[in-house]
């Protein structure tokens, strides 16, 4: 081990950028795994990964030192259900790649090529401390949206770091609508697709999904093979308690499915069953209205009650426009803490509320060892905040993604500065840059 470390040190010393080792010192460090914050903590970063985070960590000679000045230091936030990078302006179709109603393909769609790393939405999201996001393809044709991706919000040309990370399927009201008009048809479509995937896996050359009227085209069946084999997680959007039980029941016929529930507004009604099935859940913190008949029991206590029942649960603002405003992940987490003071509500302590928007979504998607916390080995996504990270008035003071310091200027801050002083002036605002 020691020999390895020496070798590693030599490699680092020989690398062109000495700043590859960064020590953020004197921070109130929250690791993001549910553990309490550490006063006067240090976060040590090397080659884009976390080496250590905690008290009493010695800073290697030559490391770039950043004094956090007692401020909060957390992992970058993870937005659990977004369309980040798939559109610049939602209402402008030409910029909107979230879904493809006219495409003959469904499960085979891979949204990674559509993600635009230069989108101003990514820059704005980064400036609010969100460093990674689960990006979900929208569902228009049939019940499958396609293969979703994991993205980072770093200022570079490459946003996607895990393409084809999961498959997305609608099996509630939306799924019923896409499948022809009923939930029964949606489940029939789903079973048929799984059986087709197995058929494809047995003999790809014989698969005949080549006609435009086929329910599954060749690439759709191919994309579902790792789903039915349990190598690729299946993100299932359902809300109603009975739908949740049906989805869990799918494992009887397809035992290797790696299910993740998203939405699950009525999950608290069947929390024990979800816990027994060991299925992770991504829920909204704030959805508390019966906005449809499949979420009559919606309550902000859903998260807390699921957690009390032992369900592995994290945050994703699926139904609140969170998909287009992912910068508000911390507001959702903070509201979970507010419920602690509300009689009859199930709240969440601060440490686990932070985890719900950091390590939580990463673990739900099966990538908790790669990102989402300041534990050793994770991607070095770190934020120094100018106040309590979950408070509304706070914002990031510094952000690193994969160990690289990020700019926090956005098109929005440029507009702000341009209009800070209104006319009269010598020249119109167009000359202010």
Partner 1 sequence: MTLRLAAGLAGLLLLSACATSTEGPNSASAKAPGSPPRSESPGDAFHSTYEPYPGVPTAIVGATIFDGEGGRIDGGTILFADGVIEAVGGRDTPIPEGTVVFDGRGKWVTPGIIDPHSHLGDYPSPGVAAHSDGNEMTGATRPEVWAEHSVWPQDPGFSRALTNGGVTTLQILPGSANLFGGRSVTLKNVPARTVQAMKFPGAPHGLKMACGENPKRVYGSRNQMPSTRMGNVALMRQTWIKAQEYKRKLEKDPKTTRDLGWETLVGAMEGKILVHNHCYRADEMAIVLDMAKEFGYKVAAFHHAVEAYKIADLLRESGTCAAMWADWWGFKMESYDGINENVALVHDAGACAMMHSDDPNGIQRLNQEAAKVLGDARRMGIAIAPETAWTWLSYNPARALGIADRTGSLKPGKMADVVLWNGDPFSVYTRPERVWIDGALLYDSANPKLRPVSDFELGQPGEGDVK
Q: Which residues bind partner 1 (CB under 8 A)?
A: 88-92, 120-121, 124, 241, 266, 269, 286-293, 296-301, 320-321, 324-325, 327-328, 331, 334-335, 337-339, 341-345, 386-387, 390-395, 412-413, 415-416, 419-420, 422-423, 429
Which of 406, 421, 412, 415 minimizes the C-alpha distance to 433?
415
CB nearer to partner 1: give 228 or 281: 281
Angle at which helices 183-202 and 241-253 cross, to 10°? 20
Residue 301 CB, nearest approach to partner 1 (Å): 6
Beta strands, E only, 136-271: 144-152, 160-170, 234-238, 259-263
Residue 91 CB, nearest approach to partner 1 (Å): 3
Which of 41, 22, 227, 193 minimizes the C-alpha distance to 105?
193
Q: How many residues does the chain have?
A: 433
Residue 52 CB, nearest approach to partner 1 (Å): 30
CB nearer to partner 1: give 211 or 393: 393
Are 251 and 259 within 8 A, CB to CB? yes
CB nearer to partner 1: give 293 or 431: 293
Residue 142 CB, nearest approach to partner 1 (Å): 23
Residue 33 CB, nearest approach to partner 1 (Å): 21
Residue 305 CB, nearest approach to partner 1 (Å): 10
Residue 263 CB, nearest approach to partner 1 (Å): 15
CB nearer to partner 1: give 64 or 288: 288
CB nearer to partner 1: give 3 or 341: 341
Q: Which residues pair with 23 in a beta bridge?
A: 44, 65
Residue 125 CB, nearest approach to partner 1 (Å): 11
Residue 388 CB, nearest approach to partner 1 (Å): 9
| Distance between CA atoms of residues 248 and 252, nearest Å | 8
CB nearer to partner 1: give 201 or 296: 296
Which of 135, 89, 84 minimizes the C-alpha distance to 109?
135
| Distance between CA atoms of residues 57 and 52, nearest Å | 8
| Distance between CA atoms of residues 271 and 307, nearest Å | 9
Residue 381 CB, nearest approach to partner 1 (Å): 22
CB nearer to partner 1: give 84 or 261: 84
Which of 209, 202, 206, 205 minimizes the C-alpha distance to 225?
202
Residue 144 CB, nearest approach to partner 1 (Å): 25
CB nearer to partner 1: give 215 or 395: 395
Q: Peptide bond preceding 206: is omega within 30 degrees of 0, i.e. cis?
A: no
| Distance between CA atoms of residues 351 and 296, nearest Å | 30
- Strand 259-263 to strand 234-238: parallel, antiparallel, or no bridges (unpaired)? parallel
Angle at which helices 218-228 and 183-202 cross, to 10°? 90
Sign of the CA dihedral running 199, 222, 226, 276: negative
* Strand, helix or coil for residue 165: strand
Task: Determine how many CB atoms are found less than 10 A away from the CB of residue 190.
Answer: 25
Are 207 and 218 within 8 A, CB to CB? yes
CB nearer to partner 1: give 31 or 124: 124
Q: Compute CA distances 424 → 131, 415, 417, 419, 421, whole Å.
A: 40, 17, 16, 12, 9
CB nearer to partner 1: give 132 or 240: 240
CB nearer to partner 1: give 74 or 232: 74
* Strand, helix or coil for residue 252: helix
């Amino acid at each position: 081990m020691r020999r390895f470390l020496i070798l590693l040190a030599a490699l680092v010393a020989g690398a062109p950028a000495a700043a590859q080792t960064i020590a953020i010192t004197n921070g109130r460090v929250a690791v993001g795994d549910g553990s309490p914050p550490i006063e006067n903590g240090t976060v040590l970063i090397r080659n884009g990964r976390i080496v250590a985070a905690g008290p009493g960590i010695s800073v290697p000679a030559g490391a770039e030192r950043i004094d956090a000045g007692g401020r909060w230091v957390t992992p970058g936030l993870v937005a659990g259900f977004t369309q980040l990078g798939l559109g610049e302006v939602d209402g402008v179709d030409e910029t909107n790649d979230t879904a493809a109603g006219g495409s003959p393909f469904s499960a085979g769609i891979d949204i990674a090529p559509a993600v635009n790393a230069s989108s101003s939405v990514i820059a704005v999201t980064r400036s609010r401390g969100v460093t990674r996001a689960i990006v979900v393809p929208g569902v228009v044709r049939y019940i499958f949206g396609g293969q979703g991706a994991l993205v980072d919000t770093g200022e570079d040309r490459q946003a996607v770091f895990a393409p084809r990370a999961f498959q997305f399927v609608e099996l509630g009201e939306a799924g019923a609508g896409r499948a022809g008009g009923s939930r029964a048809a949606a489940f029939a479509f789903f079973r048929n697709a799984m059986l087709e995937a197995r058929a494809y896996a047995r003999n790809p050359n014989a698969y005949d999904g080549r006609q435009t009227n086929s329910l599954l085209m060749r690439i759709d069946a191919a994309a579902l093979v790792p789903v039915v084999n349990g190598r690729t997680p299946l993100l299932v959007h359902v809300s109603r308690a009975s739908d949740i039980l049906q989805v869990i029941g799918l494992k009887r016929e397809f035992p290797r499915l790696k299910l993740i529930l998203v939405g699950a507004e009525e999950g608290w009604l069947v929390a024990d069953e979800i816990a027994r099935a060991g299925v992770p859940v991504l829920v909204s913190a704030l959805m508390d209205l019966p906005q449809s008949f499949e979420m009559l029991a919606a309550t902000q206590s859903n998260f807390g009650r699921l957690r009390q029942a032992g369900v592995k649960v994290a945050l994703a603002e699926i139904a609140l426009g969170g998909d287009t405003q992912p910068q508000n992940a911390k507001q959702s987490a903070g509201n979970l803490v507010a419920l602690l003071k509300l009689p009859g509500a199930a709240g969440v302590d601060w440490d686990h509320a932070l985890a719900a928007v950091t390590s939580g979504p990463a673990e739900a998607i099966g990538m908790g060892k790669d990102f989402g916390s300041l534990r050793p080995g994770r991607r070095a996504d770190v934020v120094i905040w100018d106040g309590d990270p979950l408070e509304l008035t706070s914002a990031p003071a510094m952000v690193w993604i994969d160990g690289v310091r990020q700019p926090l200027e956005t098109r929005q801050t440029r507009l702000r500065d341009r209009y800070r002083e209104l006319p009269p002036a010598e020249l119109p605002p167009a000359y202010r840059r």
